[in-house]
């Protein structure tokens, strides 16, 4: 498929569980703390709800695995440094 190109596989090894553990935990949290608790009537409501949840998850929700800090605090290196969110294009 990529004959002649210097393509490398980025995973540590085939089927290695640690490669997906962080995103799998995020999807579990999204499902059980947002989607299963609310009923969205339209795609627009769902999109807005997911956007709001992800902003809350990154900016306000503390994480025990991050020493009870928010992802924004860990990534940007300080408390209260909430960055302006990146506006994603709307697909709907």
Q: Count of domains in the chain? A: 1
CA separation for the pair 70, 38 (Å, rounded)? 24
CA separation for the pair 38, 46 (Å, rounded)? 9
Residue 3 pLDDT > 90, yes or no? no
Would you say residue 71 lies in a domain? yes
CB 39 within 8 A of CB 47: no
pTM for this one?
0.63
Would you say residue 59 lies in a domain? yes
Domain that holds residue 49: 41-84
pLDDT in tens, 10-23: 655 666 667 678 88
Range 66-91 average pLDDT: 72
Q: What is the pLDDT of residue 59?
A: 93
Would you say residue 3 lies in a domain? no
């Amino acid at each position: 498929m990529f004959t002649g190109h210097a393509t490398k596989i980025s995973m540590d090894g085939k089927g290695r569980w640690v490669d997906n553990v962080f995103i799998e935990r995020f999807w579990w949290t999204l499902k059980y703390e947002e989607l299963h608790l609310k009923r969205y009537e339209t795609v627009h409501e769902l999109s807005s709800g997911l956007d709001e949840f992800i902003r809350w998850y990154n900016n306000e929700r503390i994480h025990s695995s991050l020493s009870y800090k928010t992802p924004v605090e860990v990534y940007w290196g300080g408390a209260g440094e909430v960055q302006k969110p990146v506006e994603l294009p709307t697909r709907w």
